[in-house]
């Protein structure tokens, strides 16, 4: 399994142990108090979300294995596939492509069916609000599929009902260990710690539909509108994560004060990258501070420019090839690359105002905080609040917080131009 799957499994084991500790506090009759009940419900929601993530990553790896199998089949038949898995025209090639597309189509159909089931976000008319278990499932599954940051493996915290922030213990200064003589006292100096508070913020969307449209549509328009509201919320979350400060929202990557050496410049006035040295330097910066880089985030235009970099001057072969082992199909130096339109391509670098940044992150040291009990749902009002207009409202809400307790988990390449 990939490092991301391993990390998710470790998180799930910790979450399961937390849930068991809560149950161990039950009285002789097996009852637990209201506070423990809320904590247990949050732990179970966390487990469900982790299970969904693990299944998603394992399915990606299975698709990768399927692609590898198709290539082996092609090679055995003497067919040369390009990086996209497309063969040149010909009888045997067409036969192979038909078989491959049929196998892929069956896989996509199964995946679509699973996504559709997860995306059944609204109830039928008259059913009203979803239960916490229902609303925290399909909603967050769809949200994760649309937000690159959430796919990259950050630590996810699910708060119990009524709690809107998370207090994270942080080591500010490590204890300085030392060699100690026999029978001598050990040093107790050097360690300092603090608590980082990660608040959650509400992001919401609301749409009104005519009752006639709701009653006559097939498929159910409420499900489709609910899906578009979640996608709109996902874009807001993505923009906040890869932004600076957001009014009434969390502070993003650009708000972090990076330590010395964690900002690598592509050039005084920006430059089109002709090699990957700056990306390598950014990875090394995170590693030198004890991190384990797990993801690279780029703008779509930047990634297109990087794919045009050639192996050497005068050669037409691209330096970057498709990586079927990567969960995203893209990688640099073995790290998955996540392409997001939320990263701006309008940054100023010297005389250029059309630059972008490449971010390298140890996502195991970044935190995504949710409150799935108080606000993570799609709900309808059945037309009651807009009775005169005969309308039904569809509303989506989410409480989300981003935590960057240690900016050493990030490194940034600045001044990247696309042309």
Helix/strand/coil (H, E, C) string of 12-78? HHHHHHHHHHHHHCCCCCCCCCHHHHHHHHHHHHHHHHHHHHHHHHHHHHHHHHHHHHHHHHHHHCC
pLDDT for the residue numbered 73: 58
Residue 126 counted as domain residue: no
pLDDT for the residue numbered 96: 36
pLDDT for the residue numbered 41: 75
How distant, in Å, are the alpha carbons of 118, 325, 361 from that of 367? 24, 26, 12
Statement to judge: residues 209 and 171 lie in one domain: yes
Residue 246 counted as domain residue: yes
Give dist(CA 396, CA 206) in Å, integer. Answer: 6
Statement to judge: residues 207 and 100 lie in one domain: no
Specify the residue for token string 């609040």: 385
CA angle 163/405/287 to nearest 5° reads 145
210 phi and psi angles, rounded to 5 deg: -70, 145
> What contacts 134, CB < 8 A, 6 or more positions away?
none
Residue 159 counted as domain residue: yes
Statement to judge: residues 326 and 390 lie in one domain: yes
Q: Rounded to two decimals, what is the model's pTM?
A: 0.66
CA angle 254/258/264 to nearest 5° reads 90
How distant, in Å, are the alpha carbons of 23, 35, 175, 388, 390 from that of 28? 11, 18, 43, 55, 54
Statement to judge: residues 151 and 232 lie in one domain: yes
- Which value, in Å, is the radius of gyration of the alpha carbons in the chain? 25
How distant, in Å, are the alpha carbons of 257, 331, 355, 356 from that of 413? 14, 16, 11, 8
103 phi and psi angles, rounded to 5 deg: -65, -40
Of the three residues 118, 150, 166, the one that is the final residue of a domain is 118
Give dist(CA 85, CA 106) in Å, integer. Answer: 17
Specify the residue for token string 């192979």: 96
pLDDT for the residue numbered 10: 81
Statement to judge: residues 339 and 215 lie in one domain: yes
Q: How many CB atoms lie within 10 A of CB 340?
A: 19
* Pairing mode of beta strands 367-371, 155-159: parallel
Residue 132 counted as domain residue: no
- For 86, the token pair is 């497309």
Number of domains in the chain: 2
- For 66, the token pair is 């399927």
Of the three residues 118, 148, 168, the one that is the final residue of a domain is 118
* Three-class secondary structure of residue 291 per DSSP: coil
Specify the residue for token string 């469900």: 48
Statement to judge: residues 87 and 11 lie in one domain: yes
Total residue length of the chain: 419
CA angle 103/105/106 to nearest 5° reads 65
How distant, in Å, are the alpha carbons of 230, 303, 305, 367 from that of 144? 10, 21, 27, 14
Residue 130 counted as domain residue: no
* Three-class secondary structure of residue 109 per DSSP: helix
Tell me whether the omega of the peptide bond preceding residue 219 falls within 30 degrees of 0, making it cis. Answer: yes
Residue 131 counted as domain residue: no
Residue 406 counted as domain residue: yes
Statement to judge: residues 27 and 54 lie in one domain: yes
Statement to judge: residues 336 and 403 lie in one domain: yes
Q: How many CB atoms lie within 10 A of CB 31?
A: 9
What is the biggest distance separating any 2 CA atoms in the chain, rounded to whole angstroms? 85
- For 235, the token pair is 């874009």
Statement to judge: residues 156 and 15 lie in one domain: no
143 phi and psi angles, rounded to 5 deg: -60, -45
Q: How far out from the chain centre does Cα 317 lie?
A: 32
CATH number for position 284: 3.90.1690.10
Give dist(CA 360, CA 337) in Å, integer. Answer: 9
From first to last of its 419 residues, the chain has per-residue pLDDT tens of 567 777 778 888 888 777 777 777 776 666 777 777 777 777 787 877 887 878 777 777 766 666 666 566 556 655 555 544 444 444 333 333 333 433 433 333 333 333 333 333 332 222 333 333 334 456 777 788 889 999 998 998 888 777 889 988 887 777 778 888 998 888 777 778 888 999 999 998 887 777 667 666 655 676 777 778 888 889 999 999 999 999 999 999 999 999 999 999 999 999 999 899 999 999 999 999 999 999 999 999 999 999 998 888 888 888 888 887 888 889 999 999 999 999 999 999 999 999 999 999 999 999 999 886 555 556 666 545 555 566 777 778 888 999 999 999 999 999 999 87
Specify the residue for token string 């240690």: 406
Statement to judge: residues 101 and 236 lie in one domain: no
pLDDT for the residue numbered 403: 95
pLDDT for the residue numbered 294: 94
Statement to judge: residues 215 and 342 lie in one domain: yes
Give dist(CA 332, CA 309) in Å, integer. Answer: 13
- Domain hosting residue 64, numbered range: 1-118
CA-wise closest residue to 161 among 17, 396, 377: 377
User: For residue 334, with 0-12 CB atoms within 10 Å meaning exposed, 13-18 middle and 19 or more buried, which class applies?
Assistant: exposed
Residue 191 counted as domain residue: yes
Statement to judge: residues 167 and 208 lie in one domain: yes
Q: How far is the first Cα of the chain from the last one, in angstroms, to the nearest whole number?
A: 38
């Amino acid at each position: 399994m990939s490092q991301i799957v391993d990390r998710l499994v470790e998180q799930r084991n910790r979450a399961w142990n937390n849930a068991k500790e809560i149950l161990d506090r039950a009285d002789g009759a097996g009852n637990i108090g209201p506070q423990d009940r809320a904590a247990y419900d949050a732990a179970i929601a966390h487990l469900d979300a982790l299970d969904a993530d693990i299944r998603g990553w394992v399915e990606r790896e299975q698709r990768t294995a399927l692609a590898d199998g198709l290539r082996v089949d092609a090679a055995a038949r003497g067919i040369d596939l390009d990086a996209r898995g497309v063969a040149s025209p010909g009888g045997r090639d067409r036969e192979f492509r038909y078989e491959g597309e049929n196998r892929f189509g069956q896989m996509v159909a199964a995946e679509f069916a699973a996504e559709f089931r997860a995306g059944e976000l609204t109830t039928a008319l008259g059913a009203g609000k979803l239960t916490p278990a229902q609303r925290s499932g399909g909603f967050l599954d769809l949200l994760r599929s649309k937000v690159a940051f959430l796919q990259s493996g950050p630590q996810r915290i699910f708060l119990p009902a009524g709690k809107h922030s998370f207090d994270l213990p942080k080591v500010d200064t490590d204890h300085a260990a030392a060699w100690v003589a026999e029978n001598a006292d050990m040093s107790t100096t050097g360690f300092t710690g603090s608590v980082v508070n990660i608040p959650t913020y509400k992001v919401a969307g609301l749409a009104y539909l005519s009752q006639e449209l709701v009653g006559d549509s097939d498929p159910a328009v409420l499900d489709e509108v609910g899906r578009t509201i979640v996608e709109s919320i996902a874009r807001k979350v993505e923009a906040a994560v890869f932004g600076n400060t957001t009014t009434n929202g969390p502070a993003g990557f650009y708000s972090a004060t990076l330590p010395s050496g964690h900002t690598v410049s592509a050039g005084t006035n920006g430059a089109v990258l002709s090699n990957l040295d700056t990306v390598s330097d950014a990875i090394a910066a995170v590693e030198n501070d004890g991190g384990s880089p797990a993801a690279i985030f780029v703008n779509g235009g930047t990634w297109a420019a990087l794919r045009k970099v050639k192996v050497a001057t005068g050669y037409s072969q691209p330096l970057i090839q498709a990586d079927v082992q990567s969960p995203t199909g893209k990688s640099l130096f073995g790290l998955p690359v996540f392409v997001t339109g939320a990263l701006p391509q309008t940054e100023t670098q010297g005389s250029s105002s059309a630059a972008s940044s490449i971010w390298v992150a140890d996502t195991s040291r970044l935190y995504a905080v949710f409150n799935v009990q108080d606000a993570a749902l799609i709900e309808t009002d059945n037309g009651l609040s807009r009775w005169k207009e005969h309308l039904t409202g569809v509303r989506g809400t989410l409480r989300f917080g981003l935590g960057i307790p240690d900016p050493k988990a990030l490194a940034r390449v600045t001044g990247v131009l696309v042309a």
